[in-house]
Amino acid sequence: MYSLNRSCFMSNTSISGSSSPFSNYQRRRLPAKVVALSTANRDHSNGSVLLDTRSGTTTLQEMRDGYAEVVDPKSGVAGGVQDVYGEDTATEDQPVTPWAVSVASGYSLLRDPHHNKGLAFNEKERDSHYLCGLLPPTVVSQEIQVKKMMHNIRNYQVPLQRYMAMMDLQERNQRLFYKLLMDNVEELLPIVYTPTVGEACQKYGSIFNRPQGLFISLKEKGKILEVLRNWPEKNIQVIVVTDGERILGLGDLGCQGMGIPVGKLSLYTALGGVRPSACLPITIDVGTNNEKLLNDEFYIGLRQKRATGQEYAELLHEFMTAVKQNYGEKILVQFEDFANHNAFNLLEKYGTTHLVFNDDIQGTASVVLAGLISAMKFVGGSLADHTFLFLGAGEAGTGIAELIALEISKQTNMPVEETRKKVWLVDSKGLIVSSRAESLQHFKRPWAHEHEPVTKLVDAVNKIKPTVLIGTSGQGKTFTKEVVEAMSALNEKPIILALSNPTSQSECTAEEAYTWSQGRAIFASGSPFESVEYEGKVHVPGQANNAYIFPGFGLGLIMSGTIRVHDDMLLVAAEALAAEVSQENFDKGLIYPPFKNIRKISAHIAAKVAAKSYELGLATRLPPPKDLVKYAESCMYSPSYRTYR
């Protein structure tokens, strides 16, 4: 016989103190609107049911055959389906009590994405967890399930359909989702993240089914701490948050930017091994300036113009304060796709008080620096021997530029003020030069060098004579044939990085880079491109994907209990990634390793980041493990199924 609880936080306590035998009462089932509570309320050891009875109206309950029964001595019909709580007759205006039952058995177990195994439940589990008859008789392995899902996903011709199929799987069977993603990472990464996630965000209102994270809007101002406590998981280690103002190269998508935190945290688990239950996606909704969304009947966010100034700052400050209060000093907050003016301010404001990381500024910088370190094996010399020209002077451009200058400073012992002179930036008004200093935003001023004004990119190439051309503009087709040919005339092996996402916003394609440079370019992009054959030789383009860095970087911070991010951690992460590029990869023209080894790569990056944290005195998990790589691997989440008692 199952025991039932008066409160969700008590165990095995009979309600109403009744000792009457069940046989003396007529029974009927709870209404159909019974829903599952958090799995935290389940007691797997004795099969007890945790039933929320806060309204105090229930006289006696029982669990039989995997469902709850309400016992009513006044019922005149055995097994009758009476509308006990008036739910079926109530209108929208008449409140009813949302009764909830949490059972680690039967139908509810199949609806629990954290524990559902589908046809992989063995016969013993089916018998002990009341699953008999709820599944077909066949028992299949997780490997067969992966094979079946990949077959189904490949049958979809439209990338967004594949994305939706993956999100549906994540909501049905979490372990199978991560197993599928890890085993097929190179094929599925463009589906769950760039470039497909960009389209998913644009259409998020139409495809939204159920929340996968927290939405915090201006309506929640003054009670954000309470909102955070509504999230069922309590042991959160990493938060990815966006305000949706600059989603990839697509602009202001408002509340629909939630696809970015959801996608990033999927990669934190699949590529970096951080437990899914420790990850929390959050969207801060302060409105949108996107008129198309404001007029879209399917838009899911606030229908107002973006809040700015003090109102915006107060909401973000309340959020950051509440996060630290609720989750402690070591919670990692990763900022994603904030507009330039807010991104730099937030990183500067909270970098000294919180464990914060901006992937657009710092993560992009680290992965690009890794690619440049690798590229030196093709072109010779060190970073200090090269000249860098950027198209784009926003978060990504200035972040990469600064990390390059820091790495050159580290290698040469030159002051960073001197090493910055090796880096030139072009924005929408042309080359950033000292005569423009007064009108520049503060984050651009360190790059205003002495030079005559230049408005066109091709002219900047011819006058600056860079060996490396990097695109972070968010503007497609800006590395024209004229620009690439100019780079090729100046360099035997021009390094060309077209980093803007999604694919439509890439400064040039892989085919254009290889063709216009007569097959001599060292090329990498932000979004994936297919291999290109030029004059009988196959060129494999690299992808400077932030997913190389941030999952391992975050794991390193978490496993060492780091309390602040330091620039030196970004440098060692880049160096660790560059060290993973093998001679076989170089022979194919690659400056990044293949994603199939990403978990091994993430473990090495995590170890280097943790070691630097211990060296800087920023780690709190003491004493440090003797072998940080093995420790990182031991911390990683495994999606293999568990056996249930």
- Contact, 466 vs 388, CB < 8 A? yes
Contact 400, 469 (CB under 8 A): no
Give CA–CA dist 264/255, Å, rounded. 16
Question: What is the dihedral sign for C-alpha 237, 243, 248, 254?
Answer: positive
Among candidate residues 12, 45, 39, the one with its CA nearest the CA of residue 101: 39
DSSP calls for 25-65: S-EEEPPTT-EE--GGG-BTTTTBBEE--TT-----EEEET
Task: Say if residues 610 and 95 touch (Cβ distance below 8 Å).
Answer: no
Q: Where does residue 642 rank: exposed (0-12), middle (13-18), buried (19+ CB within 10 A)? A: exposed
Q: For residue 210, count CB atoms less than 10 angstroms from its CB and return exposed for 0-12, middle for 13-18, buried for 19 or more.
A: exposed
Cβ neighbors of 369 (< 8 A, separation 6 or more) are 400, 403, 404, 407, 570, 571, 574
Is residue 383 within 8 A of residue 372, CB to CB? The reply is: yes
* Length of the chain, in residues: 645
Please name every residue paired with 67 in a beta bridge, in sequence order, or none if there are none. Answer: 64
246 annotated binding-site participant: yes
Closest CA to 257 of 294, 276, 283, 230: 283
Residue 545 in marked binding region: yes
**Residue 179 neighbours by CB distance under 10 Å:** 21
User: Cα(300)–Cα(259) distance, rounded to whole angstroms?
Assistant: 13
The reply to whether 429 belongs to the active site is no
Is 413 annotated as ligand-binding?
Answer: no
Q: Consult the annotation and say whether 220 binds a ligand.
A: no
| Measured distance CA(229)–CA(393) in Å, rounded | 39
Dump the DSSP string for 382-429.
Answer: -GGG--EEEE--SHHHHHHHHHHHHHHHHHH---HHHHGGGEEEEETT
Q: Which residues contact 618 (CB under 8 A, 6 or more apart)?
A: 562, 563, 564, 566
Element containing residue 538 per DSSP (H, E) = strand 537-539
Cα separation, 501 vs 194, in Å, equals 7
Nearest to 268 by CA among 552, 43, 467: 552
Residue 53 tokens, joined: 């009875």
Q: Is 65 annotated as a binding residue?
A: no
**Is 193 annotated in the active site?**
yes
The C-alpha atoms of residue 71 and residue 61 are separated, in whole angstroms, by 6
- Looking at 179, 203, 264, 612, which residue is catalytic? 264
Place of tokens 């969207």: 283
Q: CA of 57: how far to CAs of 6, 9, 37, 288, in Å?
A: 11, 18, 19, 45
* Runs of H (alpha helix) within 229-363: 259-272, 291-294, 309-327, 340-350
600, 601, 602, 604: CA torsion to nearest 10: 90
Q: At which residue do the structure tokens 């590529």 appear?
A: 271
Report the distance separating Cα 314 and Cα 286, nearest Å. 11
**Does the annotation flag 599 for ligand binding?**
no
- Indicate which residue of 67, 163, 178, 193 is catalytic: 193
Q: How far is CA 62 from CA 14, 210, 587, in A?
A: 10, 31, 68
Tokens of 279: 């990850």
Catalytic annotation, residues: 193, 264
Instruction: Please enumerate, by residue number, every residue annotated as part of a binding site for a divalent metal cation.
Output: 336-337, 360
Instruction: Please enumerate, by residue number, every residue annotated as part of a binding site.
Output: 246, 336-337, 360, 501, 545
Instruction: Please enumerate, by residue number, every residue annotated as part of a binding site for (S)-malate.
Output: 246, 501, 545
